């Protein structure tokens, strides 16, 4: 689990450690491991250490939430407009 704000030095100092261990994290994910990553809390961040392309853009928006299926713990949010 990668904590919220991991890339923002005002919150934590773990970004360099995560990036330095990127190969091990990528191998874990490639082998089927589950990785939970919360927001980087910086304006933009590229997850270069993951085995796929992923970018984070911090944007504050309002969004209605919709339960997709009552039998599954899944809620979908559709961004509407910046706040």
Residue among 56, 54, 80, 50 at smallest CA distance from 4: 56
Using 50, 70 and 90 to split pLDDT, how confident is the model at 81? low
pLDDT digits (tens, 9 = 90+) for 34-62: 988 888 999 999 999 989 888 888 887 77
Is residue 10 assigned to a domain? Answer: no
Q: How many domains does the chain have?
A: 1
pTM for this one? 0.62
Is residue 9 assigned to a domain? Answer: no
Is residue 1 assigned to a domain? Answer: no
pLDDT at residue 23, as a whole number: 92
Is residue 54 assigned to a domain? Answer: yes
pLDDT at residue 82, as a whole number: 59
CA pair distance 29, 56, nearest whole angstrom: 18
Round the average pLDDT of the chain to a whole number and report it.
Answer: 83
Is residue 5 assigned to a domain? Answer: no
* Structural domain range at position 51: 15-82
Instruction: Indicate if the pLDDT at residue 24 is higher than 90.
Output: yes
Is residue 3 assigned to a domain? Answer: no
């Amino acid at each position: 689990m990668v904590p919220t704000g991991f890339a923002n030095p005002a919150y934590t100092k773990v970004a360099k450690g995560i990036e330095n261990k990127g190969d091990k994290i990528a191998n874990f994910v490639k082998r089927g491991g589950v990785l939970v990553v919360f927001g980087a809390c910086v304006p933009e961040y590229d997850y270069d250490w993951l085995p796929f392309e992923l970018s984070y853009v911090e944007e504050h928006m309002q969004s209605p939430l919709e339960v997709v299926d009552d039998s599954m713990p899944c809620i979908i949010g559709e961004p509407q407009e910046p706040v």
